[in-house]
Amino acid sequence: MTRVAVFDLDGTLADTAADLIAAANAALIELGFHGTLDAGDGAGADRATAFAGGRAMLRAGLTRQGVAEPEDLVERGFPMLLAHYEAGIAERTRLYPGVEAALDLLAVRGWSLAICTNKPVLLADLLLVRLGVRERFAAVLGADSLSVRKPDPLHLTETVVRAGGTPDRAVLVGDTVTDRDAARAARIPCVLVAFGPEGRGIARLDPAGLIDDYAELPPLLERLVPAFRGGRMKRAE
**Active-site residue list:** 8
The Cα 135–Cα 132 span in angstroms is 8
Residues in the chain: 237
CA distances from 52 to 30, 48, 113, 206 (A): 21, 7, 23, 19
Please tell me whether residue 189 adopts helix, strand or coil conformation: coil
Contacting residues for 131 by C-beta, under 8 A, at least 6 apart: 14, 90, 93, 94, 95
CA quadruple 66, 89, 14, 163: dihedral, nearest 10: 120
* Cis peptide upstream of residue 151 (ω within 30 degrees of 0): yes
| DSSP 8-state class, residue 141 | E
The Cα 235–Cα 237 span in angstroms is 6
